[in-house]
């Protein structure tokens, strides 16, 4: 099985996946909430080498703490799975000069 196969395969029924999700979800939630508190994003993309089915399961378990601040609620970002399958890091790095030139 290649990494590409792993990324496109459903890992829902694999042994240990539910336990892994139980273990990492609290840290994932803390990271997402820290990002929301500091950056106030409209969208957060889960990508990299994580299988898409696993990213979707993690998104389903995400709990964003949206407590009122000064009487107002923040906008809650949408979470989505990256659609780039092959070499997302390399593609992102290659786009940096383009963004610096155009934007």
Does the pLDDT value for residue 79 go beyond 90? yes
Give the pLDDT band (50/70/90) at residue 103.
confident
Rounded Cα distance, 103 and 24, in Å: 36
Name which of 44, 70, 48 is nearest 59 in CA terms: 44
pLDDT above 70 (res 39): yes
Range scoring the smallest mean pLDDT among 44-48, 54-58, 62-66: 44-48
Section 9-13 average pLDDT: 69
pLDDT category of residue 23 using cuts at 50, 70 and 90: very high
25 neighbors 61 (Cβ within 8 angstroms): yes
């Amino acid at each position: 099985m290649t990494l590409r196969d792993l990324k496109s395969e459903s890992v829902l029924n694999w042994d240990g996946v539910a336990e892994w999700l139980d273990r990492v979800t609290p840290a994932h939630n803390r990271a997402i909430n820290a990002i929301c508190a500091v950056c106030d994003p409209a969208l957060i993309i889960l990508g990299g080498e994580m299988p898409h089915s696993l990213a979707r399961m993690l998104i389903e378990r995400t709990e964003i703490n949206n407590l009122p601040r000064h009487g107002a609620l923040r906008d809650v970002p949408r979470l989505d799975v990256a659609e780039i399958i092959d070499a997302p890091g390399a593609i992102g790095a290659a786009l940096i000069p383009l963004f610096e030139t155009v934007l």
